[in-house]
Structure 1
Amino acid sequence: MIEVYIDGASAGNPGPSGAGIFIKGNGKAEKYSIPLGNMSNHEAEYHAFIKALEICLEKGYSKSVVSFRTDSQLVSNAVEKEFVKNKLYLPLFEKALSLSKQFDLFFMKWIPSIENKTADELARLAIRKNNLE
């Protein structure tokens, strides 16, 4: 099984944002810290999820059991119910849902922030990278 921990963060709302992605499985661990530019925290959470889905698809993980873990109840609930309340996030949600359908076995699980520390640290690092690019 592949476990994918994701987090989006913003310094300000909106403000400089970043995505943190921590993937473990198959005996290895991968870390990604991706600057996202200026956006809200909720947008950053969705972008982190989309980036993680794209990375997993590029690496051929779609044939494995892939469990995504997030501390964002907004993203977790939207994926679980296949419904988004705020229409502002509809395009991001639809893209994420479309990507998730490409996995043979896809799971999304909400976890408390304390269990998502690595992804959170990577997201915060990505915020600082915005100023370097």
Structure 2
Amino acid sequence: MIEVYVDGASAGNPGPSGAGVFIKAEGSVIKSALPLGMLSNHEAEFEALIHALSICKENQYRTLSIRTDSQLVSSAVDRRYVKNKVYLPYLSRCLELVDQFDLCFIKWIPSSKNKMADELARKAIQQNEQ
């Protein structure tokens, strides 16, 4: 099973945002820091998951265990529902990708257990400003 850690971050809410993805896969590691432009923190969290799922799809991974420190994202994907309609397009895209994998679990973890993805997301924020 592929271990995927995702985090989105914003410098302001909304503000310059970034996605951090850290993937442990079959003896290798993939790190990605993606600048996202101006988004809210929750939007950045969803974008981070979308980015991670896209990377996994490109690499033809079939079984994923995803960890996020966003309770909103983890519960929205788990329940396949989001109350705030602003996030509906993000959730729809996430579910469209999730459904392409044989197995895909998502689990909330505390921020202290998501440091690598957090560092990558913060690095991505700074790439917006260059």
Moved over 6 A (4+): none
What pairs up with 1:6-85 in 2 under 5 angstroms? 6-61=6-61, 63=62, 65-85=63-83
Q: Which amino acid aligns with 1:10?
A: S
- The alignment covers a number of residue pairs equal to 130
TM-fit CA distance, 1:131: 1.1
Equivalents in 2 of 1:33, 1:114: separation in Å? 19
Cross-structure match for 2:104: 106
SS class of match (1:85) = coil
Equivalents in 2 of 1:28, 1:58: separation in Å? 15
Unaligned residue ranges in structure 2 (runs of 5+):
none
Share of identical aligned residues, percent?
A: 63
SS class of match (1:98) = helix
Q: Which amino acid aligns with 2:74?
A: S
Query: What is the TM-score when the length of structure 1 is the normalising length?
Result: 0.96
1:87-128: CA deviation from partner (whole Å, max 9, x where unpaired): 000011001011100000111011110100000000000000
TM-fit CA distance, 1:25: 2.0
SS class of match (1:129) = helix
Cross-structure match for 1:90: 88
What pairs up with 1:108-123 in 2 under 5 angstroms? 108-123=106-121
